[in-house]
Chain A
Amino acid sequence: METFNLVLYGFQVALAAHNVFACFVGVLLGTLVGVLPGLGPVATISILLPITLSMEPVTAIIMLAGIYYGAQYGGSITSILLNVPGEATTVVTCIEGHQMALAGRAGPALGISAIGSFIGGTICLVGIMFLAAPLAKFALRFGPPEYSALIFLAITLITGLAVGSPVKGLAMAVLGMMAGTIGMDVATGEPRFTFGIHALHDGLGLVPVIMGLFGIGEILTNVEQKGGAEVIKTKFSNVWPTMQDWIASRMAIMRGTVVGFLLGLIPGGGALIATFASYSLEKKISRHPETFGHGAIEGLAGPETANNSGSQASFVPMLSLGLPSNVVTAILIGALIIHGVEPGPLMMTTNPDIFWGVLVSMYLGNVMLLILNLPLIAVWVQILRIPYKFLLPLIMMFCLVGVYSTNFSVFDVFVMIFFGIIGYLMNKFQYEPAPFIMGLVLCPIFENAFRQSLSLSDGSFWIFFSRPISAVLVIGGILILAGYMLPSFRQKVKVVQENACD
């Protein structure tokens, strides 16, 4: 009953006029920028981060979340029409979605993506309602050792899912944590690694680092791409799926919801595994597996639903434990910190408006996406045709003014440029920037919890193993790390991903 009241409270927060407006603007901007060639959800959210800085925390997160799933839907549009996935989670969308578009069925492909996402989001919200109360109770049992252990587990999980080598992913997370040690020491107030630069006393600004790595880094990578992909020319009069499409995809949508929800809750890019898992599942249980790869609508509906349901579920560890599941939630945690909200296990009790308000707003955002996108698809397609050379100056302008206006500091502009170059080189040499950001965001929280734990235990590391929750988390993390080192395990992960793409 209490949970039901909290959900009602969430609706009250999300339905406040300014929050509805923030959600609408977020979804619209997200889809718009997500559709633009060369910008995925992470770049979109990074570039638009400064515009939310003057808002209340809950409104800012509602808008950023809206930008995120708006951009994700924008990514689905580019996947289907251009065969260009905006990010890893829409790789699977390309497989069946683009084939459907080639067969003249781009409308229903885009339609089922929006509808599947909406259904997935709705059911996911109900699931979260049931999960919230026990999770809040569980979170109260977290002390510094449990929290350090949880962050350790999260980092091991996330680095392992980095494309390419997990060792490189882990190195980036550690490098990010090292960058996080710049600034005043949490306990003594002594400045560390500031090199006499006063602007570094408060640490590296998250906004310029995020905008540099994901915004400028992506711009630099994109200017090298010669020529654009070709947009499919088709009419969008029949966006609504046919009865046959419904019958084929209804169970796939249900399964996608469950797969996405369960995998999304696990820290470590849940939505990504969820899309691959859903596609593999649909292919395996299909009566006509031979149609997969040739535009099977269930192979599109399942993963698209899983993607949305997984991203929504990935907000649960972030909002209940302060733990990012992927790079987007890491950026959102950064935004919370900038707004003076301390992410952590108590957030659900101390800031119920953020937890419930944001989750409910995501549901409303899905409704908006559905209303907005089905009639607007033809407009998005036109935007998709804008050549990148016209967009480049605009995106750069937005980054430069955005980062400058955060603190009116030219130093921040240089930090952004520096991390832009780093992001570009990371893309070049296949080092993922996502674990770096996770490390940077989590470092102060982790260091604090780690040092408090050691002080509590008089310097003994046994404290992490003598308490049941932290023991389970640490051992889990160690097993995962050991697993990454085993070539057979790495091979299995690769096979799962390749199978999904076959």
Chain B
Amino acid sequence: MREDDRACSLILLGIALAACLGAFQYEVGTFNNPGPGLFPLVLGAVLGVLSLMILAGGVMAKRAAVQGGQATGGRSIYSKEALYVVLALIGFGFLLVPLGFIVTTFAVFAALLRFVTKQKWPVVVGGALVLSLGAFVVFDVLLGVPLPRGALGI
């Protein structure tokens, strides 16, 4: 187990409790006549027990690290690059239908090429253009996948 298992286990515990509470929204039934809520309730209970075991392991790991003078903590869990990729993906999701495939892909991949792969502007514009038009031709025109046209009709 690791020190950061403490935080992870608490998240899992939260999910387990939510599942147990959520299960009661449905009919739980009995073991001889199980309802839709029974299985989620059992799973929630099992996850709860497991998350407590992980928590115990995490606490012990932290204690051992403190005693050994190797306590970490306070480090960032994500990098800037990963965050940019996630933002680009979310942007794609929101813009795809209103702006259409070509415009969205151009914008998202231009941002990606600039901020994640750190390309120069001519490469950014050229690359995004080739990617968006190329993907449209391959998927929509050649493979017949109907990609959204957006408000601009392109």
Residue ranges of A at the interface with B (Cβ–Cβ < 8 Å): 165, 167-168, 170-171, 174-175, 177-178, 181, 185, 187-188, 190, 192-193, 216, 219-221, 223-224, 389-390, 392-394, 396-397, 400-401, 404-405, 408, 410, 413-414, 417, 420-421, 424-425, 428-431, 447, 450-451, 454-455, 457-461
Given contacts A393-B113, A404-B96, A454-B32, contact A171 B135 (CB under 8 A): no
Contact A178 B44 (CB under 8 A): yes
CA distance A459 to B34 in the complex (A): 8
Contact A459 B50 (CB under 8 A): no
Q: How many residues of B contact A (CB 8 A)?
A: 60
Contact A429 B34 (CB under 8 A): no
Contact A424 B131 (CB under 8 A): no
Nearest-neighbor residue (CB-CB) of B127 within chain A: A393
Identify 13 residue pairs between A and B in the complex whose beta-carbon atoms are under 8 Å apart, listed by A's number: A171-B47, A178-B15, A220-B86, A223-B81, A393-B113, A397-B105, A405-B139, A410-B93, A425-B77, A428-B77, A454-B32, A455-B34, A457-B32
Contact B117 A167 (CB under 8 A): no
CA distance A451 to B65 in the complex (A): 45
Asked whether B146 is an interface residue with its Cβ less than 8 Å from the other chain, the reply is yes
- A-B contacts, CB under 8 A, total: 143
The 4 closest A-B pairs by CB, nearest first: A459-B32, A459-B31, A185-B36, A389-B117
Nearest-neighbor residue (CB-CB) of A415 within chain B: B93
Residue ranges of B at the interface with A (Cβ–Cβ < 8 Å): 1-2, 4-5, 8, 12, 15, 19, 22, 26-27, 30-40, 43-44, 46-47, 50-51, 53-54, 57, 77-79, 81-82, 85-86, 88-90, 92-93, 96-97, 105, 109, 112-113, 116-119, 127, 131, 135, 139, 145-147
The answer, among B36, B116, B147, for a CB contact under 8 Å with A392, is B116
Chain B interface mostly: helix
Contact A450 B112 (CB under 8 A): no
Contact B89 A188 (CB under 8 A): no
Contact B93 A193 (CB under 8 A): no
Given contacts A410-B97, A454-B31, A459-B30, contact A165 B57 (CB under 8 A): yes
Given contacts A171-B47, A404-B96, A410-B97, contact A224 B79 (CB under 8 A): yes
Given contacts A397-B109, A458-B32, contact A420 B4 (CB under 8 A): no
Given contacts A187-B36, A392-B112, A420-B89, contact A178 B54 (CB under 8 A): no
CB-defined contacts of B78 to chain A, threshold 8 Å: 424, 428
Contact A455 B93 (CB under 8 A): no
CB-defined contacts of A460 to chain B, threshold 8 Å: 31-32
Q: Output the least CB separation between B149 and chain A (Å).
A: 13
CB-defined contacts of B82 to chain A, threshold 8 Å: 220-221, 223-224, 424
Q: Output the least CB separation between A424 and chain B (Å).
A: 6
Contact A429 B1 (CB under 8 A): no
The answer, among A187, A393, A401, A461, for a CB contact under 8 Å with B112, is A393
Known: A165-B57, A171-B54, A193-B22; 11 extra A-B contacts, CB below 8 A, are A165-B54, A177-B43, A178-B44, A188-B27, A389-B116, A396-B112, A397-B109, A400-B92, A414-B90, A454-B31, A461-B31
Nearest-neighbor residue (CB-CB) of A408 within chain B: B146
Q: Output the least CB separation between B42 and chain A (Å).
A: 9
Contact A405 B145 (CB under 8 A): yes
CB-defined contacts of A447 to chain B, threshold 8 Å: 39
CA distance A221 to B79 in the complex (A): 9
CB-defined contacts of B40 to chain A, threshold 8 Å: 178, 181, 192-193
CA distance A419 to B66 in the complex (A): 33
CA distance A390 to B85 in the complex (A): 14
Given contacts A389-B117, A400-B92, contact A421 B8 (CB under 8 A): no
The answer, among B22, B30, B79, for a CB contact under 8 Å with A223, is B79
Nearest-neighbor residue (CB-CB) of B83 within chain A: A220
CA distance A460 to B30 in the complex (A): 11
Contact A190 B12 (CB under 8 A): no
CA distance A457 to B118 in the complex (A): 64
